[in-house]
Amino acid sequence: MPVLKFERAFFCNFSKIYRMKTILITGGTGLVGMHLSQKLTEKGYKVALLSRRKYNDSQYETYLWNPEKSEIDIKAFQTAHCIIHLAGENIGEKRWTAIRKQHIIDSRVKPIGLILNYLKDAVIKPECFISASATGYYESNLIDKIFDESASAAKGFLGETCQKWEQAADSISDLGIRTVKIRTGVVLSAKGGALAKMTVPVKLGIGSSLGSGKQYMPWIHIDDLCDVYIKAIEDVKINGAYNAVCPEHVTNKEFTKILAQVLHKPFFLPAVPAFVLKALFGQMSEILLKGNRVSSEKLQNAGFIFQFPKLENALKNIFRK
């Protein structure tokens, strides 16, 4: 019995030592970044942030950087086991003017270039680099085609943005660093994001589908998404692009109907016409009116198990919180 107790203590301490590695995160104060930082800390990792400003009340060590001015505190890299790149301007915050679209691309690509310039000459490099990406990488369609990671990038702004984003991440891979690209669908969270905006009209009893309502909405619960990032950190076989979407495929109409049911609200109004959304949001209305079916098979084959594979259960969990 004493031997068994010793073995348990040994493996417990070994596990703690293994997990006491530093994960350096860009965009750590965003919706996903904050949730991921908390989960990593709970698992025993040390979290550090790359940020444009210091947060005196932050529980995480913060290093300053400014990608536009090519400024970065290189001390951030000295103990980083893994770098997670989540930084990027909110793609649905403002109308897509030419200047706005360039800012969206630059906010994702330039930070990677700044990290790359340091890592080229670094004696000790991180074990992995994990970058966010999006299911906007794929073409939009209303047919039954399901896109996997082997598909080509779509033409148009969303596809171009994701392609440049991932190409920048691939430059880190060229240094011999294991690089993972997480193509993420709509993230469901109780603390904001797209779901918060979708919930407002439903709670008011005026929820309805958008456009044809037939556009697919790849989605994922924020807990599952953070677990995908953690698996990418811990599983050295994870490399390249992975779709972070749940296996259940739902259209915009189905999504809104299930959301109304979970909130015990009516769902009977006609769909919001596409021309209204185009008039309100311009080209940015593509986010609302277009969609695609995206496969999670590669992620599941890698051993990932979703906590919330079904939309109804995911929404019930979120609103219960």
For residue 121, give the CATH number of its domain. Answer: 3.40.50.720
Q: Can you give the pLDDT at residue 55?
A: 67
Q: What percent of the chain has pLDDT over 90?
A: 79
pLDDT, tens digit, for every residue of 144-161? 899 999 999 999 999 999
Q: Can you give the pLDDT at residue 109?
A: 97
Tokens linked to 196? 């918060």
> What is this structure's pTM?
0.91
Q: Count the Cβ atoms, other than its own, within 10 Å of residue 1.
A: 5
Binned at pLDDT 50, 70 and 90, residue 277 comes out as confident
Residue 4 lies in a domain: no
Question: In the chain, where do the E strands start and end?
Answer: 22-26, 46-51, 61-66, 71-72, 80-85, 128-134, 146-147, 178-184, 186-188, 219-221, 240-244, 293-294
Binned at pLDDT 50, 70 and 90, residue 13 comes out as very low
Domain count, the chain: 1
Kindly give, in sequence order, each residue whose CB lies less than 8 Å from that of residue 310, ignoring residues fewer than 6 positions away.
246, 248
Binned at pLDDT 50, 70 and 90, residue 19 comes out as low
Q: Which residues face 243 on adjacent strands?
A: 183
Mean pLDDT score, 16-36 = 86
Residue 127 lies in a domain: yes
| pLDDT for residue 274 is more than 90 | no
Residue 213 lies in a domain: yes
Residue 2 lies in a domain: no
Tokens linked to 271? 């769909």
Q: Can you give the pLDDT at residue 53?
A: 83
Return the minimum-mean-pLDDT range out of 170-184, 211-225, 263-277.
Answer: 263-277
Residue 110 lies in a domain: yes
Mean pLDDT score, 9-17 = 45
Return the minimum-mean-pLDDT range out of 62-76, 224-238, 242-256.
Answer: 62-76
Residue 215 lies in a domain: yes
Residue 120 lies in a domain: yes
| Higher-confidence position of 58 and 139 | 139
Q: What is the 3-state secondary structure (H, E, C) of 251-294?
A: EHHHHHHHHHHHCCCCCCCCCECHHHHHHHHHHHHHHHHCCCEE
| pLDDT for residue 232 is more than 60 | yes
Three-class SS state of 4: helix
Q: Can you give the pLDDT at residue 162?
A: 98
Residue 3 lies in a domain: no
Kind plus residue range of the DSSP H or E element containing 10 = helix 2-19
Nearest to 179 by CA among 111, 134, 242: 242
Q: Can you give the pLDDT at residue 287?
A: 86
Mean pLDDT over the full length of the chain: 91
Residue-number span of the structural domain to which 35 is assigned: 10-320
Q: What type of residue is 4?
A: L
| pLDDT for residue 2 is more than 70 | no
Q: What type of residue is 49?
A: L
